[in-house]
Amino acid sequence: MMDTQLILTGFLKRAERYFPNKQIISRTSPTITHRIAFKDYVKRTRRLADALKNIGMTRGTKVGTFGWNHHRHLEAYFAIPCSGAILHTINIRLAPEHIVYIINHAEDEILLIDEDLFPLVEPALAHLKSVKHIIIMGDSLGVPTSSFPNVHNYEQLLQEADENFEFPEDIDEYSQAGMCYTSATTGMPKGVVYTHRSIVLHSIALGLAESFALKENDVALPVVPMFHVNAWGLPFAAINYGANLVLPGPMFTPALLLDLIEQEKVTLAAGVPTIWLGVLAEQERQARDLSSLRQIISGGSASPKGLIQAFIEKLGVPYVNAYGMTETSPLVSMSHPTSEMDNYSADELLDLRVTQGLTSSLIETEVVNENGPVPNDGQTMGELRIRGPWIASEYYKDERTVDSFRDGWLYTGDIAVLTKEGYIKITDRTKDLIKSGGEWISSVDLENALMSHPAVFEAAVIAVPHPKWQERPLACVVLKENAHAGKDELIAHLENDFAKWSLPDDVVFLKEIPKTSVGKFLKAKLREDLKDYEVPL
């Protein structure tokens, strides 16, 4: 067989040739929406590649992006790797010292920064060691005043560049195409490098029926940021499959997202559960027409059962849980029921939908403990490990590689069980498990049950030190607006489903649960805030 290279340039060529009139709908402000046909998108992408070459980008150059989800960011997604350079998407919500660290560690030479985000990067500029050029992405033609010497305007650079720029054809499929840093529990973020091959294979997998089933007649809305694991690969896959792409820009409020879904007839939207919790509350306040939606994909952290149920039963929108990590490109598994479950009751199906699901084709997963792989008994816990062609094999220039990559597997730090059907069910992160008197308590199950109480908006359960049991569970709860529920009522709500010893000892009511830069519960912060909390003895 032929050994043609799996490189991203092939996606651009398909977009140009087969889907010239498909659209990128990019909302850069509440009043500005850009509608760009794929044929013009590819021309702009060629111009960007030429412009970047003109200021010194060559093969292997790292180019950082610091931006929301919009068409300019999408142009960078292809112009950079298709030139043989490396697209480094930077998480705009990281702490300033982490931003400085990752730009220096990756050795970015050029930065593309959104006009409105420039003030976030400006204080860091004096500490950057490798950056030579900054390009400001925005609708205006100016650049902000700055002491940094080479600041360019994106649109101006494009105007001066060649729309017939030819991408090189001899890129090796194993060469670096992109990188993304993921927050570590301790220390600085860790870098993951994607290759052309890994991105191409992952994108193709998003078209499989068992995963996103992305196809030409879809209108895809990645709510998940383009700075977080390539917006789960949707931008790459949509260009290849010819699906319209809706990019919401800086507008992530539930009301604006719902308006966008209604107006653009979005068929598939992807984001973290926190987004969908907000969207559900807003839809209940003011209903929009959601009939175009064929699938909501939720991932990044566990989805409460009540949320999945509300989407499916109240809104009539299929809601599918997907599991992955920055290290895994990210898609590993999805919780679609199979035809063998046709006779399951609604409750049994819901129990499956809450799980992280079945492993994708081409990817292998195992749940292992000290006795080896665990059985499909829904009970025996172990650590989830993964391998496959879009799973990282190391962290970029980082000694912490040895902690997570062993014997050809990525050890995820996620604790899971396998259901009788073989679905992965994450019960905790290794660091979030609660060990009470030698027994493990899963915080995720307790959180899910608490969030099924009608008065509860969000709940996180953490371990707090205990003189007798070493650790005990403490529930941290945010109530819905104008809702009331006390500790006794919430604990009583759990009593039917949990052994008495595993119930939280106490409930603290908070205004909000602290979140990570990508909207996940930040339990390390909760544990720190509540470390002196004394549970009632």
Candidate list 314, 397, 435, 531, residue with the active-site label: 435
How far CA 223 is from CA of 39, 137, 232, 249, 253, in Å, comes to 24, 20, 10, 9, 10
* Minimal distance, residue 518 CB to ligand AMP, in Å: 6
Per the annotation, the verdict on 435 as an active-site residue is: yes
Instruction: Give the contacts of 345 (CB within 8 A, at least 6 positions apart).
Output: none
Instruction: Give the contacts of 275 (CB within 8 A, at least 6 positions apart).
Output: 223, 252, 254, 257, 519
Binding to ligand AMP, residues 413-452 (CB under 6 A): 414, 426, 429
Residue from 9, 240, 244, 412 binding ligand AMP (CB under 6 A): 412
Candidate list 9, 61, 182, 516, residue with the active-site label: 182
Residue 311 is classified by DSSP as: I
* Minimal distance, residue 223 CB to ligand AMP, in Å: 14
Options 90-98, 164-172, 321-329, 363-371: segment touching ligand AMP (CB under 6 A):
321-329
| Contact by Cβ (8 Å): 188, 101 | yes
Would you state the structure tokens that stand for residue 419, as one six-digit string?
A: 């259901």
* Minimal distance, residue 275 CB to ligand AMP, in Å: 13
Distance CA 51, CA 80 (A): 11
Residue from 24, 102, 325, 392 binding ligand AMP (CB under 6 A): 325
* Minimal distance, residue 233 CB to ligand AMP, in Å: 12
Options 47-55, 164-172, 294-302, 386-394: segment touching ligand AMP (CB under 6 A):
294-302
| Closer of 37 and 349 to ligand AMP (Cβ) | 349
Candidate list 109, 173, 282, 327, residue with the active-site label: 327
Residue from 165, 212, 236, 323 binding ligand AMP (CB under 6 A): 323
Distance CA 256, CA 282 (A): 10
Options 97-105, 206-214, 219-227, 319-327: segment touching ligand AMP (CB under 6 A):
319-327
Per the annotation, the verdict on 440 as an active-site residue is: yes
Distance CA 271, CA 252 (A): 10
Candidates 182, 185, 177, 164; CA nearest to 203 is: 177
Candidate list 166, 185, 430, 440, residue with the active-site label: 440
**107 CA to centre of own chain:** 24
Binding to ligand AMP, residues 165-204 (CB under 6 A): 182
Per the annotation, the verdict on 469 as an active-site residue is: no
Residue from 233, 249, 278, 300 binding ligand AMP (CB under 6 A): 300
How far CA 264 is from CA of 224, 233, 251, 326, in Å, comes to 18, 21, 15, 29
Distance CA 173, CA 177 (A): 9
Tell whether residue 356 is a contact of ligand AMP (CB under 6 A).
Answer: yes
Distance CA 160, CA 50 (A): 9
Options 143-151, 213-221, 322-330, 500-508: segment touching ligand AMP (CB under 6 A):
322-330
Options 98-106, 147-155, 299-307, 385-393: segment touching ligand AMP (CB under 6 A):
299-307
How far CA 325 is from CA of 138, 333, 414, 465, in Å, comes to 30, 11, 10, 30
* Minimal distance, residue 13 CB to ligand AMP, in Å: 30
Which helix (H) or strand (E) segment is 112 a member of?
strand 110-114
Number of residues that bind ligand AMP (CB under 6 A): 19
Residue from 189, 299, 337, 504 binding ligand AMP (CB under 6 A): 299
CB atoms under 10 Å from CB of 180, counted, come to 26
Residue from 211, 230, 301, 329 binding ligand AMP (CB under 6 A): 301
Distance CA 251, CA 275 (A): 12
Per-residue contact string for residues 509-528; x = within reach of ligand AMP by CB under 6 A: ---------x----------
**129 CA to centre of own chain:** 29
Show which residues are catalytic.
182, 327, 435, 440
Name the residues that contact ligand AMP, by CB under 6 A: 182, 229, 299-302, 321-326, 330, 356, 412, 414, 426, 429, 518
